[in-house]
Chain A
Amino acid sequence: MKHPESCIQCGTCVTVCPVEMVGGHAIVTFLADPDATDYSAWLCTSCWRCQEACPAEVDIYELMMEQRRQEAAPAGYQAAFESVLACGLALEIPQDELDQVRAQWGLEPVRIAPAEVVRLVLGQEKASRDE
């Protein structure tokens, strides 16, 4: 990954990052130290605190997303994406279960997007698993 030119390596992003607070190393580790190798673009909670706190206004989130798109995804992310392509949602819920739960709670019935529409809109027509 190319270290962003506007980054001043002040480390503010590291101090506010919830991943760093529990001992993980997110992309902010790399921002604070361009020589760092022990970090992952996938370790992020999308809390946006680093981006908000950055005095140099680095678009940390987009930098991280660009990096992710060039890497193999962790299994959890891969499964969630495949679920989106196969059933429209990151968490799969069969229609009959959904109907049952909603009826139990007195909530109006709801249908999920047809999976083929989701794949078309995402431009992923060929990348889906078998249904």
Chain B
Amino acid sequence: MEFDLAFYPGCLILQRMPEYEAAARAVLRELGIELEIVQEAACCGAPVAESFTTDWVYLAAYNLALVERMGHDTVVTLCGSCTNALTRAALALRDPAMHAEANRRLEAQGLSVTGQVEVKHLVRLLAEREEALRTRIVRPLSLRVALTNPCQVFRPGEVMGFDDAMEPQSMRRLVELTGAEVLEYGGENECCGATLYLADRQLSLAAGRRKLEATHGADLLLHGCGNCHLLLRHFQHAIVRDEPGLRQRALVLPQILGLAMGLPADELGLREGAWE
């Protein structure tokens, strides 16, 4: 049965990772889910605006209000930061004074917010459909995958309310559906360090290097967050420099799922035959 969910892309996906969105859409379509993008969405609010003003919550509330206006009760996200910020904002709106102030600010835009929208990251959405996914795997992969769990999808545990907060298993289970082996390298639950980039570029690259060193021997790195993918794929050249031995291929979760589901590589943002 086909149904639609709202989709909040966030800046990293829009600016840098159309393949992540394309692959997520391709995989979800196979499960009968179409994503309807949130038009006129703004920055999720955290940690950028949050570092400057407590009013960041109203920016997140604006995004939630857009989802409500579309008539959706669930919004799908691909990035950990957006997932975390929008979820925390929905929780903050339970405070009556904050809720009233959010609606006062949104009224001028013809919007209102209840804060009842459920924010659901792709990992969670897919984990809820593990059995449906399993039946669609037609091309098992023999790859060794080093994954990084998207921190902000699982923590703080009492807010995100999904999987084990410190040692989540849902992404590993999804990868194992494809037949791929998930490499135990000890850093699955260690942050990639990407979001450090805004404050200290060198420390961020050092964190990325730590990850590349620890995952030596994997066939590829696998991400479920725009931040991880930004640092470890897009900025990898700045980490590796003249040490090609550190180089790793990096994919996002729906790309590997899509491959195992036999979807055309170009729909997943991959070159045909590159993964045979």
Contacts of B51-66 to chain A: CB distance below 8 A: 51-56, 58-59, 61-62
Query: For A102, what are the chain B residues with a Cβ–Cβ distance below 8 Å?
Result: 18
Shortest CB-to-CB span from B224 to chain A, Å, is: 14
B196 within 8 A of A: yes
- Is A21 a contact of B210 with CB atoms below 8 Å? yes
Query: For B81, what are the chain A residues with a Cβ–Cβ distance below 8 Å?
Result: 46
- Is A93 a contact of B11 with CB atoms below 8 Å? yes
Shortest CB-to-CB span from A88 to chain B, Å, is: 5
Q: How far is the CA of A42 from the CA of B199 in the complex (A)?
A: 6
Contacts of B71-98 to chain A: CB distance below 8 A: 81, 84
| Chain B residues within 8 Å of chain A by Cβ, number | 63
Answer whether A45 and B22 are a contact pair too, CB < 8 Å, given A65-B50, A98-B14, A121-B106: no
Most buried by B among A68, A84, A102: A84
Query: For B51, what are the chain A residues with a Cβ–Cβ distance below 8 Å?
Result: 42, 65, 68-69, 73, 77, 81
Q: Would you give the 0/1 interface string for B188-206, flagging 1 where the beta carbon is closer than 8 Å to chain A?
A: 0111111111111101001
Shortest CB-to-CB span from B271 to chain A, Å, is: 15
- Is A46 a contact of B195 with CB atoms below 8 Å? yes
Q: Which of B191, B194, B198 contacts A77 (CB 8 A)?
A: B198
A56 within 8 A of B: no
Query: For A101, what are the chain B residues with a Cβ–Cβ distance below 8 Å?
Result: 18
A108 within 8 A of B: yes
Shortest CB-to-CB span from B64 to chain A, Å, is: 12
Query: For B206, what are the chain A residues with a Cβ–Cβ distance below 8 Å?
Result: 22-23
A-B contact count (CB 8 A): 187
- Is B14 a contact of A110 with CB atoms below 8 Å? yes
B68 within 8 A of A: no
Query: For A46, what are the chain B residues with a Cβ–Cβ distance below 8 Å?
Result: 46-47, 81, 84, 151-152, 195
Q: Would you give the 0/1 interface string for A103-131, flagging 1 where the beta carbon is closer than 8 Å to chain B?
A: 01111101111100110111110000000
Stretch at the interface among B35-43, B126-134, B249-257: B35-43
Query: For B11, what are the chain A residues with a Cβ–Cβ distance below 8 Å?
Result: 89-91, 93
Shortest CB-to-CB span from B61 to chain A, Å, is: 8
Shortest CB-to-CB span from A117 to chain B, Å, is: 6
Query: For A124, what are the chain B residues with a Cβ–Cβ distance below 8 Å?
Result: 53, 55
Q: Which of A48, A69, A80, A93 contacts B151 (CB 8 A)?
A: A48
Answer whether A76 and B151 are a contact pair too, CB < 8 Å, given A18-B190, A111-B39, A122-B49: no
- Is A91 a contact of B15 with CB atoms below 8 Å? yes
Residue of A nearest to B60 (CB): A121
A63 within 8 A of B: no
Q: Which of B49, B54, B109, B157 contacts A52 (CB 8 A)?
A: B157
Answer whether A121 and B151 are a contact pair too, CB < 8 Å, given A49-B166, A88-B42, A110-B14: no
A51 within 8 A of B: yes
Q: Which of B53, B84, B152 contacts A122 (CB 8 A)?
A: B53
Q: How far is the CA of A91 from the CA of B81 in the complex (A)?
A: 14
A7 within 8 A of B: no
Mark A residues whose CB is within 8 Å of B.
18-19, 21-24, 40, 42-49, 51-53, 61, 65, 68-69, 73-74, 76-77, 80-81, 84, 88-93, 98, 101-102, 104-108, 110-114, 117-118, 120-124
List 7 A-B pairs, minimum CB-CB distance, nearest first.
A48-B155, A47-B191, A76-B198, A113-B42, A47-B151, A89-B11, A18-B191
